[in-house]
Amino acid sequence: MNKDVIYIEPEDDITDIINRIKTAKQKIVALVPPQKIGVLRSALNTKLVAKTAAAVEKAVVIVTVDPALIKLAISAGIPVAKNLQSRPMMPSEISQLAQPEEEIIDETKEKTAAPAYQPHLAPKQPDQVINSQDLAEPETKSDKTNKPFQKASKTKIPNLDRYRKWIILGAAGFVLLVGLLVWALVIAPSAKISVLVRTTANNFSENINFTLKTSEEDVKSGKLLLEEQKQTDKAETEFVATGTKNVGEKASGKLVLTAYFKDDNNKSKAIPAGTVFSTGEQKFTITKATAITVENTDSCEKANSLTEMGLGCKRSITVDVVAQQPGAASNIAAGTTNWTCSVAGVIAANAIAFTGGTDKNITIVQQSDIDKAKEKLSSSNETSGKKKLIKGLSKSMVALESSFKQTVGDPVSTPKLGEEVKEGVTPKLESTTTYTMYAVDKANLEDYIRAKSKSKVSKDQKLYSVGSPFIERFVQNDKEITAKLKTILQVGPKITERDILAKSQGRKIGEVQSLIKSINGVSTVTIKPSFFWVTSVPSNANKVTIELKVEE
């Protein structure tokens, strides 16, 4: 009867063994463990094997000479065999199984000495009784003619562990070789095609309009949106204040004002507020408006003998005055002479002394201090200001350099002109310069140039480059903003990357070079394969890189 042989690996667990028993095709299953078996050195595992064999109606035989494993098999009711050619044995034959593997087995003795198979230890199904004929290989005719005491040859169980490493390495090497071939022949091949074309330069010059409102922008008609760029620079310097100011008390006193009236037509002399009275360098002002008057010159002439001298009628009043500037110098003695008055015909005199003037001098900022500080300020440089604005622009913007403006503010001192400089404070002078310039979106500018130049390029020509557009003659007024747009266009043969790809896919490198170079206007064709073994341009467009350059 045929049998299934299951070789147990050291890494197998009890679940693997049970599954392999269940899936065995033959009724008889021989379990061949390695020399150092671990999974079956458990009474529970051997009983699970026996239970599984009974459940799936299979007869299990353990092929081993390990005494410990033989005992576990007997306790679970599983037959054991010395090798795959010998018949299964039961407990009474333990002494025979313990012999060394090299011992010569006398099959005749085995047949006579072996007791009958014990049915109570085998599976209960009648058709699963195991005998020597079930487990051993079928006899040949030559076997039957052998002598009774002829020695039987021993077949050893192959040990696959010693070859495991080489099998794994061989399989890994095969997979690696296949992967390498797939990578080298399918994935790796790629090519870069560089085509250099000859172009001609065409001048482009157009008047263009601008707007500061987004809603009015119209690229097609040449009305582009301007964006104002602004930058502020501050310059600051310290200076020394040299001005002084007396903030003491002002002197005050009383003046006697006298006027003469000769006729009836001149009977009053007005003294307005602020009238200045001077003596030497000291000046005083009247704080309240008043007047010197006369009611009747006749009574004046009768009462005053001076009228005989031709001076007219004399009238006097006393007024309060205060010094224009503070200081002790305004304190003058009584009877001071040489008084003058800003009102003609009025004579002033002081009968009593002026007092109350005191000195208190402080440091202030004066104009000469500010003028000297201006010279120390870093002068605003228009060129550097323009460079700063251009440098701060995004690469997507084009500067209108002709729109550049520089505004220099008036210097401001701290403290201000005429103010006191307190102790411990250093005066400073600060100047602010504002730079402004307009810029336009580069993409919109190029779109306008391309649209405008379509009519100027022939059908067999192509626009390769719009150059570096620049704007001059910027004019801004209340009605419109205009300028002149200029650039140099590069025009060459009408060839696209798609045309180059169509002539290249799947062809030999030399053939591709000849096909592309035959196009009028193509100067140079260079093809760089990814590796030396790649001799053709890949058919896959994703593996072909095309670079179209303009000859300088």
- 311 in the same domain as 395: no
Among the three residues 441, 457, 478, which one is the final residue of a domain in this structure? 441
What letter does residue 275 receive in the DSSP assignment? -
Residue-level pLDDT at 279: 92
Smallest CA-to-CA distance from 350 within 381, 319, 374 is with: 319
Q: Is residue 129 part of a domain?
A: yes
Q: Using an 8 Å Cβ cutoff, are 223 and 206 in contact?
A: no
Distance of alpha carbon 549 from its chain centroid, rounded? 31
- 14 in the same domain as 140: yes
Q: What are the backbone angles phi and psi of residue 356, rounded to the nearest 5°?
A: 100, -10
Range of the domain at 410: 229-240+365-441
pLDDT in single tens digits along all 552 residues of the chain: 678 888 888 878 888 888 888 888 888 888 888 876 677 778 888 888 888 888 888 888 888 888 888 888 888 888 888 888 888 876 555 545 444 444 333 433 333 333 433 433 434 333 343 444 444 444 444 444 444 434 444 555 566 666 778 888 888 889 998 888 888 777 878 889 988 888 888 888 989 999 999 988 888 888 899 998 888 888 888 889 889 898 899 999 999 998 887 765 667 888 999 999 999 899 999 988 998 887 654 555 544 544 444 567 788 899 999 999 999 999 999 988 889 998 888 889 998 999 999 999 989 999 898 888 888 776 556 778 888 888 888 888 888 888 888 888 888 889 998 888 988 899 998 988 888 999 999 899 999 998 888 887 888 788 888 888 988 888 988 888 999 999 998 888 888 888 888 888 888 888 888 888 888 778 888 988 888 888 888 888 888 898 888 777
Q: What is the pTM of this model?
A: 0.43
What does DSSP say about strands 191-197 and 544-550: parallel, antiparallel, or unpaired? parallel
- 141 in the same domain as 81: yes
Among the three residues 296, 330, 359, which one is the final residue of a domain in this structure? 359
Give me the residues paired with residue 5 across strands.
30
Q: Is residue 399 part of a domain?
A: yes
Among the three residues 342, 359, 376, which one is the final residue of a domain in this structure? 359
In angstroms, the CA 118 to CA 287 distance is: 151
Q: Is residue 504 part of a domain?
A: no
Q: What are the backbone angles phi and psi of residue 431, rounded to the nearest 5°?
A: -125, 140
- Which tokens in the block code for residue 369? 């201090």
Q: Is residue 200 part of a domain?
A: no
Q: Is residue 41 part of a domain?
A: yes
How many independent structural domains does the chain possess?
3
- 375 in the same domain as 321: no
Give the long-range contacts of residues 130-134, CB within 8 A, separation 24 or more. Answer: 130/28, 130/59, 130/61, 130/79, 130/88, 131/87, 132/86, 132/87, 132/88, 133/1, 133/87, 134/1, 134/3, 134/28, 134/59
Cα maximum dimension of the chain: 199
Smallest CA-to-CA distance from 404 within 434, 373, 375 is with: 434
- 300 in the same domain as 398: no
- 381 in the same domain as 350: no
- 377 in the same domain as 233: yes
Q: Is residue 349 part of a domain?
A: yes
- 320 in the same domain as 256: yes
In angstroms, the CA 516 to CA 404 distance is: 48
Q: Is residue 339 part of a domain?
A: yes
In angstroms, the CA 325 to CA 334 distance is: 19
Residue-level pLDDT at 327: 92
Sign of CA dihedral 31, 37, 41, 45: negative
- 373 in the same domain as 272: no
Q: Is residue 209 part of a domain?
A: no
Distances (CA, A) of 155 to 83, 105, 149, 158, 534: 8, 12, 19, 9, 55
- 355 in the same domain as 392: no
- 399 in the same domain as 288: no
- 130 in the same domain as 16: yes
